[in-house]
Amino acid sequence: MHHHDLLSRLVHPAPGKIVLLVLDGVGDLRTATQFRTPLEAANTPVLDELAAAGSLGRIVPVATGITPGSGPGHLALFGYDPASPEADIGRGILEALGLGLQLGAGDVAARGNYATADAAGNLTDRRAGRIPTSECERVTAKAAAALGDLPGGRVELFPGEAHRFVFLARGDGLSAALSDTDPQELGVPPLAVHATEPEAAATAALVTEAVARIEAAIADEPKANRVLLRGFSRLPALPSLPSLYQMRFGAFAGYPLYRGVASACGMEVMPCGKQIGEILDAVTAAWDRFDFFFLHVKQTDQAGEDGNFDAKVATIEEVDAALPRLLALGPEVLAVTGDHSTPAPMKGHSWHPVPLLLHAPHAFVDDCRTFGESAAIAGHLGTFRSCELMGLLLAHAGRLQKFGA
Amino acid sequence: MHHHDLLSRLVHPAPGKIVLLVLDGVGDLRTATQFRTPLEAANTPVLDELAAAGSLGRIVPVATGITPGSGPGHLALFGYDPASPEADIGRGILEALGLGLQLGAGDVAARGNYATADAAGNLTDRRAGRIPTSECERVTAKAAAALGDLPGGRVELFPGEAHRFVFLARGDGLSAALSDTDPQELGVPPLAVHATEPEAAATAALVTEAVARIEAAIADEPKANRVLLRGFSRLPALPSLPSLYQMRFGAFAGYPLYRGVASACGMEVMPCGKQIGEILDAVTAAWDRFDFFFLHVKQTDQAGEDGNFDAKVATIEEVDAALPRLLALGPEVLAVTGDHSTPAPMKGHSWHPVPLLLHAPHAFVDDCRTFGESAAIAGHLGTFRSCELMGLLLAHAGRLQKFGA
């Protein structure tokens, strides 16, 4: 049984509100040259006060040693086991969510690359020289105009950054059981798309015809004259959060990918800016509308990806300074954590456990007096899988009945 | 899905080398009379320096409260869930590996005891008075000479220590679905062997005939005049480490059992002595040949089994003194741990978590300044199952891709 089904069986109503504040990639490292983590180095009087009055712990997004992408990292925070088949979000769908596209249950998305082939049709550059985004937009418009009526569905193209685009097939009875067309090597032509299951034959024919028309339209381009498609996928059929937990879930995230993942879980995605102040404006305006608030701050992850320790510290301090506004709303339960670590020294996501702060009426007041990675090791909450956090939030909000008599 | 299959999906190549140094049974206890563990009492400047620069944690070999044998303890370190059916190593196979026998996939091994029966055929001693090993060798040679041609396969006998021997059946289509012949009580005759599944009928007949010939040959022995067979088993069909993780695995262990388990997992087992110096000689000579090095030091476990605190301390200090030679080779990732605890006060294996030291470029520099059981409680790695260690080693070596996008 999925953990969320156990929780779902025990859910009952309660008035208090739950706030999950995700500082994307907040977890970081102490190394021989970085003696404190950004969270430890930042001046965070409010977070430290919350830590002193509540409990700390650590969460493991997927499993020991596994570095999660943003999709699995957030699904875990929302209570889904990210390694379970139900939570398998394909690359195409994530790319589409990242562009902010509205996706239907039957849509099939692939991540597209423009590529360069020589006169013989063999690939010479799988990324078309990383053409500028403006070029990508021009070429995509040209390709989309050539698609016309297709057999068995529609295909839409959406330009992304540089050589990337999203290939979206829409229609009845489409299947995502399709092979990639990217051969992952140079000197050979792109691969034909194949149905990997019989029911995908019609979709394969649709994609094949669409690719032929696209490539005919862009054949005269010096760089972006071929397309490579990867990660054909559909929205995962996740049980929705409101149906599982009998709460109204609101998502407050400024960036498309996180809005998309929240939407795929059944959250209502609210209009929202990207800065913590704008996020809190939106939360304040919608305080009566929801029981559960997912707040997403992206800048901690961006700073980590850039290896910019100071920027990560600055974002954390900015959040800390804004927190009194959130606390003034009176959340019953407040959790502050991340979807994964993005250590500045690594300039990328990592597998390291993520510190967690829980403030709630029945949180154990442990000995942690500051919010940080080292303090969290000794926190009352211990170290557990991110997908179990939802149960803890529900429990602290008084929303879970006793299990058994 | 097995955890190793998830890891396997994410594996990609990287240049750094991984060293797993297993101090067998190193974990120990603090008690009212043993104030420090051997690891804490030992003078270990090198391990302490590694601890200060890296992370500590603890691993649980099988599950809370479960005391592992050497087979499960090592399989867990190698990334297999020791409680899963695929990792089920039978007693017969372990005994055969412990004698250093080369086993084929179809071989069926049983652990044999010589026993004593009276004139009526009823058992009076299930261990034949624990005859000396030299007697065991003599009786085994006599029994083996009497086997001759058997129906449906060959049977080989290998003397062990005291009253123990290995019974090995070789041939086509053999099955290990056979019942034990040891009645586990005195005053009754040995049991007949039975096929527990229909396809084992022919093997049961082979074993029955072999036992009859053996017992006819040794009937005149005063003590070792009967045989009892237990734990019929075949090599487990484990997915091999090189195929799972795309690395070259080298095993450096002086004792047969560990060589055998490593071999059963697909490691290349190198010629190697039993002392740490000899082990490091072998590792140094083969440094370019492997990506993953399993080093096994047995003496910590032996000292624990003997209840010899001082000998355990001495072994740990010997290893510490030898470590600079290992470090000079430049491993990217070094883990020092045990397959289980063998506390000196208990004179045997135990279920207590095993301290773990991890030294790697992205190890979190936690507050642990010495390597020991008490320090490890507060280590950054926390407490987790031994079978998850492989994921951590791969992650720290840069050998795992991100999970999801």
Distance CA(A111)–CA(A93), nearest Å, equals 8
B365, B382, B400: residue with CB nearest A353: B382
From chain B, pick out residues whose CB is under 8 angstroms from the CB of A65.
Answer: 7, 388, 390-396, 400
CB contact under 8 A, A351 and B6: no
Q: What is the pLDDT of residue A217?
A: 97
Q: Which fold has domain B3-88+238-396?
A: Alkaline Phosphatase, subunit A (3.40.720)
Give the one of A345, A351, A374 whose C-beta lies nearest to B395's C-beta.
Answer: A351
Could you tell me the CATH superfamily of domain A3-88+239-396? Alkaline Phosphatase, subunit A (3.40.720.10)
pLDDT averaged over every residue in chain A: 96
Helix-then-strand count for chain A, H and E: 14, 13
Q: What is the 3-state secondary structure (H, E, C) of A202-251?
A: HHHHHHHHHHHHHHHHHCCCCCCCEEEEEEEECCCCCCCHHHHHCCCEEE
Burial of A15 per CB tally in 10 Å (0-12, 13-18, 19+): exposed
Tokens of A100: 């902010």
A374 at interface of B, judged by CB pairs closer than 8 A: yes
Matching residue, tokens 């299947």: A175
For residue A340, the one-letter residue type is H
Reduce the DSSP state of residue B94 to 3 states and report it. Answer: helix
Asked whether residue A90 carries a pLDDT value surpassing 90, the answer given is no
What average pLDDT does range A235-245 have in this prediction? 95
Q: Note the pLDDT of residue B100.
A: 87
For residue B398 the two structure tokens come to 């840069």
pLDDT in tens, A98-123: 888 989 989 999 999 999 999 999 99
DSSP state of B119: T
DSSP string of A53-99, one letter each residue = HSEEEEEESSSTTPPB-HHHHHHHHTT--TTSGGG---HHHHHHHHT
Find the closest chain A residue to B383 by CA distance. Answer: A383
Please judge whether B389 and A62 are an interchain contact, meaning their C-beta atoms are less than 8 angstroms apart. no
Q: Which tokens in the block code for residue B258?
A: 């560990």
Residue A33 contacts B, CB cutoff 8 Å: no
Whether the CB-CB separation of A352 and A374 falls below 8 Å is answered with: no
Q: How many angstroms away from the CA of B280 is the closest CA of chain A?
A: 28
Spatial contact of B74 and B383, defined as CB atoms under 8 Å apart: no
Q: What ranges do the domains of chain A cover?
A: 3-88+239-396, 93-233
User: What span, in angstroms and rounded, lies between the C-alpha atoms of A154 and A144?
Assistant: 11
pLDDT tens profile A295-333: 999 999 999 999 999 999 999 999 999 999 999 999 999
Mutate: best of A30, A39, A62, A64, partner B, most B CBs <10 A: A64
Size of interface A-B (CB pairs under 8 A): 99
For chain B, how many helices (H) and strands (E)? 14, 13
d(CA A193, CA A108): 14
Alpha carbon of B201: minimum distance to chain A alpha carbons (Å): 39
Instruction: Provide DSSP, B196-246.
Output: SSGGGHHHHHHHHHHHHHHHHHHTT-SS--EEEEEEEE----PPPHHHHHS
Q: How far from A25 is each of B239, B303, B356, B376, B389, CA to CA, in Å?
A: 34, 46, 26, 26, 23
B378 touches chain A (CB under 8 A): yes
Q: Is B194 exposed, middle or buried (0-12, 13-18, 19+ CB in 10 A)?
A: middle
Count other Cβ atoms within 10 Å, centred on residue A262: 24
Residue B155 dihedral angles phi and psi, to the nearest 5°: -125, 130
Contacts of A351 in chain B (CB under 8 A): 391-392, 395, 400
**Contact B383/A at CB under 8 A:** yes
> Which pTM value belongs to this model?
0.91
Complex ipTM: 0.89
Measured in whole angstroms, how far is the alpha carbon of residue A348 from the centre of its chain?
15
Q: For B387-405, give the DSSP string.
A: GGHHHHHHHHTT-B--B--
- Tell me the pLDDT of chain B (405 aa) as tens digits: 789 999 999 999 999 999 999 999 999 999 999 999 999 999 999 999 999 999 999 999 999 999 999 999 999 999 999 999 999 888 899 899 988 898 998 999 999 999 999 999 999 999 999 999 999 999 999 999 999 999 889 999 999 989 999 999 999 999 999 999 999 999 999 999 999 999 999 999 999 999 999 999 999 999 999 999 999 999 998 999 999 999 999 999 999 889 999 999 999 999 999 999 999 999 999 999 999 999 999 999 999 999 999 999 999 999 999 999 999 999 999 999 999 999 999 999 999 999 999 999 999 999 999 999 999 999 999 999 999 999 999 999 999 999 987
Q: How far apart are CA B383 and CA A165, in angstroms?
A: 43
pLDDT at A173: 93
d(CA A129, CA A118): 13
Nearest CB to B362: which of A70, A346, A377?
A346
Residues in chain A with CB shorter than 8 Å from the CB of B378 are 377-378
Q: Are A351 and B389 within 8 A, CB to CB?
A: no
A343 touches chain B (CB under 8 A): yes
Q: Is A105 exposed, middle or buried (0-12, 13-18, 19+ CB in 10 A)?
A: exposed
